[in-house]
Amino acid sequence: MHLKLFLLFAFISAMVSAQIVGKVTDTNNQPLPYVNIYLQNSYTGTTTNDDGNYSLNASEKGEYKVIFQFLGYKTLTKTVTPTTFPFILNVSLEEETTSLDEVVVTTSEDPAYRIIRETIAQRKENLEKLSEFTADFYSRGLWKVKDVPEKIMGQEVGDFEGMLDSTRTGIIYLSETISEIAYQKPDKFTEKIIASKVSGNDNGFSFNSAQNANLSFYENTIEMNAELVSPIASNGLSYYNFKLDGIFYEGSKLINKIKVIPKRSNDRVWHGYIYIVEDDWQLYGIELNTTGAAIQVPFVNNLQVKQNYKYDATNDFWVKISQNIDFGFGLFGMKGDGNFIAVYSNYDFKPAFTKKSFTNEVLSFTPEANKKDSLFWNGNRPVPLSDEELKDYIKKDSLQLLRSSKTYLDSIDTKANKLSLLSIVTGYSYTNSFKKWSVDYEGPLKNTNFNTVQGWNSKAGLSYRKWYDDNHTNVFLAAVEANYGIAEDRLRFTANILRNFNWKDKLRISLAGGSKVAQFNETAPIAPFINTFATLFFERNYMKLYELNFGKINYSQEVFNGLHLYASVAYENRQPLFNNTDYVTIPFDDVSYTSNNPLAPNDFSNAAIKEHDIVKSKIWARINFGQKYFSNPDMKFNIGNTKYPELNIYMENGTAISESQYDYTQVEASLNQTVSFGNKGQFYYNLKGGSFANGEGISFVDYKHFNGNQTRVGTSANYTNVFNLMPYYEFSTNKSYFEGHIEHDFRGWVLGKIPGINQLNLNLVAGAHFLSTEERKPYSEISIGIDNLGFGKFRLLRVDYVRSYYNGGSMGAFIFGLKFLDMFGF
């Protein structure tokens, strides 16, 4: 039945282009997936699908030598002379018998080490042969889930818009692309997608990317979230043991099959087999695996990369013709697997590149790339669809019209719009998908906190959202929020209106206004949840607040690639606030709360500011040098460029309404970057400097405040914007200042080599922080910590020991990193 179904579509394909089609099996008649099939002395090729079926383009009648190549099986060459198309060619492959009979062992060392050393010595020359090329590229990606629970952490999961069957199993992503790619060392890359198809969405654009699939084991490391060391890296012998598993011949070429064995299992390493051509010292094939622990994605169980190469006589080189990435994952009781197929053809290793060949646009789509019909795909798809994939396309494409109908969308909304008894405290959302609008109510449960100004306080909000396109790039939003504090007995309201015009230049304009309590440091370094815990249980009321009554207009836009502009103008009325409660959860003999005055913590009668009015304007330019990006007709996705830092230039101006002492101008510049050191980890730095003009008499609100931390709890992924032992407002300034933060995450490079500890898959992190202001002596911190702590698949904890130095004194403390708090919005 499977072959009949495939042949039916093969005949349809033949109407578009002549093809050789068939099925590849083993000697037990079992289908072989991902067999490489190509015409001799050409780059015309394909691979079999999951069912062993293939379709190979043949442009005209005549004699062809068709080569079938699959790791672990004998390469087979078939000579055929088609007179009609489609021409059916079914073959059976025999398992390759490897032997060590011809291997001469002259020392106690395994012969594999000689082969690996020769290949390492040849590595740079092999890379040079791949220094520039163009090629045609085909990709197909698939994600499938099974045993999906109906609820995760109490939240309804749904059926992924009909993607899951009655067993809670189904394909949630299926997409393919046909594109033209170009590469020039060291890192110039461009991809133009000619055709893009997404199952169930005829307007969709695929997320498949040739650049992300460009894995070269000739490089020292391979980026897979973490930098994994290649078995033939210059330092590969420090990470792997090798064993010659056997040899076989590809024509006259002797191929060595070598087993790759990590010396330390939790290093950033691979295990499996590599195939190396004797004397050429080039790759014939890759069959390597790694784990979620190695790439530091705990929910991934296993990840396998297979690569196949063919000999190019013209260039005297073995070139990659296909690649398969398979992975399995599991989280929250849900299991799944995925597969990414890549097929390379029509290489040109002597391209005539010009200065205009490469731009910062590394991926683009041709007009109508997502509008290709089934006849186009049947005639140009190099790898046939499996039965499962074919059924998914048919099912979802047939449902697409239904899913856009009012009846269907209303039925989905009816189910999703159900109220529960707890909605009043947890929140509620009502959506009208057909008319493209929704109303959301944010309940007070997650937003209930405590501070000494308001006492127990909570907020709730109501928002209306309207979108004008299916991709939600053109959006209108209106929202109102109410906040009430019991001890203060004060109800405040804020409201905002936002218009997001597109996702190409990201033009956005918003209006906001109302009354709220605000931290003196506008970056709000103290999370309300952490302040609540510190205040109620340790009597550490670090959060200092004032009342802000305001009206504000904001603008932001990417003026051109790499330059983002942000501007705002606001009228602000600032009023002082005082403590209104001394409530604690566990009362001690004497409650030791400080006042709400950050300048005088023991002064409960006087405030840090007087009531005043000011017009505050800001303009901020963010410059990303050499910024790379993806684009399609609807959106632009910036992916940065780690070769260069990000520069931010900021100017703020305050104009007092009545008292000129509050007039000021502040300028600031910052430079930050993430630098990869391969398998040795990542280095982060963030440098800032600024100054005030006419800042002597300004309000304490407008001082430069630095992000301190007295709670001993960290929430960010790294600490390049915080001093973990510095008091929140002790170093605030209205004069010139400089701060610098550096941090290096070794990503297992150090701890992964220590016996016993390397089984824990921990990361060593070291950092240093420095602050200089005109009024005070320099302040500095150094830190050493362990990241990637946790249990099982949940690795969201970190512990650092931090030592601070100021004015001849020193102190130290542990900082407990709870990165999950940021994830859950606390």
pLDDT digits (tens, 9 = 90+) for 654-690: 999 988 899 999 999 999 999 999 889 999 999 999 9
The C-alpha atoms of residue 461 and residue 496 are separated, in whole angstroms, by: 11
266 and 290 Cβ atoms separated by less than 8 Å: no
Tokens found for residue 663: 């007039």
Q: How far apart are CA 71 and CA 33, in angstroms?
A: 11
pLDDT range class, residue 515, cuts 50, 70, 90: very high
Provide mean pLDDT across the span 237-258. Answer: 92
Query: What's the average model confidence in pLDDT over 570-577?
Result: 97
Supply the pLDDT for residue 179.
95
d(CA 787, CA 683): 14
User: Cβ–Cβ contacts within 10 Å for residue 588, how many?
Assistant: 8
Confidence grade of residue 728 (pLDDT, cut at 50, 70, 90): very high
Record the tokens describing residue 415, joined without a space.
């189910």
Residue type, 381: R
- Distance (Å, whole) CA 13 – CA 54: 12
| Mode of pairing for the β-strands spanning 64-69 and 76-80 | antiparallel
Neighbours of 93 (CB within 10 A): 19
608: phi then psi, degrees, rounded to nearest 5: -75, -20
Candidates 365, 400, 392; CA nearest to 470 is 400
Give the pLDDT score at 99: 67
pLDDT at 299 over 90: no
Question: In angstroms, rounded to a whole number, what is the distance separating the alpha carbons of residues 425 and 446?
Answer: 8
Is the confidence at residue 148, as pLDDT, over 90?
no
Give me 379's structure tokens: 């005639």
Q: How confident is the model at residue 824 (pLDDT cuts 50, 70, 90)?
A: low
Give buried/exposed letters for 261-274 (b at 16+ CB in 10 A, else e): ebebebbbbbbbbb
Confidence at residue 662, expressed as pLDDT on a 0 to 100 scale: 94
333, with CB counted inside 10 A (0-12, 13-18, 19+), is exposed
**Quick one: pLDDT at residue 776?**
93
Pick the most confident of 149-153, 165-169, 405-409: 405-409
Q: What is the pLDDT of residue 455?
A: 96
pLDDT given at position 224: 87
Give whole-number Cα distances, 118 to 111, 320, 645, in Å: 11, 20, 38
Q: What is the pLDDT of residues 71-98, one digit of tens each?
A: 889 899 999 988 888 889 999 999 887 7
pLDDT at res. 155: 67
Q: Which residues contact 253 (CB under 8 A, 6 or more apart)?
A: 277, 278, 280, 284, 311
**Sequence-separated (6 or more) residues with CB below 8 Å from residue 355:** none
Residue 421's pLDDT band (boundaries 50, 70, 90)? confident
The answer, yes or no, to whether residue 826 has pLDDT greater than 70, is: no
- pLDDT band of 107, cuts 50, 70, 90: low
- What's the pLDDT at 723? 97
The residue among 799, 804, 801 whose CA lies nearest residue 789 is 799
The answer to whether the peptide bond before residue 186 is cis (omega within 30 degrees of 0) is yes
**Peptide bond just before 33 cis, omega within 30 deg:** no
Stronger pLDDT, 699 or 819, i.e. the higher one: 699
> What pLDDT sits at residue 10?
42
Average pLDDT, stretch 246-275? 91
With beta carbons less than 8 A apart as the criterion, state whether 491 and 482 touch. yes
Q: Average pLDDT of 493-515?
A: 96
For residue 424, pLDDT over 50 is answered with yes
Helical pair 387-403 and 2-14, crossing angle rounded to 10 deg: 70
Residue 9 pLDDT exceeds 50:
no
pLDDT at position 133 is 95
Check if the beta carbon of residue 644 is closer than 8 Å to that of residue 671.
no
Work out the mean pLDDT of the chain and round it to a whole number: 90
In contact, 459 and 427? CB cutoff 8 Å: no
| pLDDT at site 2 | 45
- φ/ψ of residue 168, rounded to 5: 65, 40
How high is the pLDDT of residue 7? Answer: 42
Q: Is 811 exposed, middle or buried (0-12, 13-18, 19+ CB in 10 A)?
A: exposed
User: What integer pLDDT is reported at residue 589 of this predicted model?
Assistant: 63
Residue 5 has pLDDT above 80, yes or no: no
What tens digit of pLDDT does each residue of 740-795 get? 999 999 988 888 888 888 888 899 999 999 999 999 999 999 999 999 998 877 88
Summarize pLDDT for 626-653 with one digit per residue, the tens: 999 999 888 899 988 889 999 999 999 9
Predicted confidence band of residue 137 (pLDDT cuts 50, 70, 90)? very high
Mean pLDDT throughout 229-243? 95
pLDDT grade, residue 103 (50/70/90)? low
| Amino acid, res. 753 | K
Question: Encoding tokens for residue 84?
Answer: 């009609």
Considering the chain, what percentage of its residues have pLDDT values greater than 90? 63
Q: Find the range with the poorest average confidence among 402-406, 605-609, 705-709.
A: 402-406
Residue 809, Cβ density class (10 Å: 0-12 exposed, 13-18 middle, ≥19 buried): exposed
**pLDDT reported for residue 438:** 96
Q: Count CA atoms closer than 13 A to 289's CA, side-chain side.
A: 11
Tell me the residue length of the chain. Answer: 826
Q: If pLDDT is split at 50, 70 and 90, which confidence band does 375 have?
A: confident
pTM of the model: 0.86
Task: State the greatest distance between any 2 C-alpha atoms of the chain, in Å, as a whole number.
Answer: 100
| Residue 780 neighbours by CB under 8 Å, 6+ apart | 768, 769, 770, 771, 804, 805, 806
- The pLDDT of residue 706 is 97
Across-strand partners of 639?
A: none
Structure token pair of residue 685: 């730095």
Separation between Cα atoms, residue 292 and residue 266, nearest integer Å: 10
Supply the pLDDT for residue 163: 75
First-to-last alpha carbon distance for the chain, in angstroms, is 55
**Three-class SS state of 502:** coil
Query: Residue 669, SS3?
Result: strand
Element (H, E) at 258: strand 253-262
**41 closest CA partner among 66, 71, 69, 70:** 66
Separation CA 139–CA 244 (nearest Å): 33
At 161, is the pLDDT very low, low, confident or very high (cuts 50, 70, 90)? low
Q: Where are the beta strands (DSSP E) in 657-778?
A: 664-676, 682-693, 713-714, 737-745, 763-773
**pLDDT tier, 105 (very low <50, low <70, confident <90, very high otherwise):** low
DSSP H or E run through 475: strand 475-485
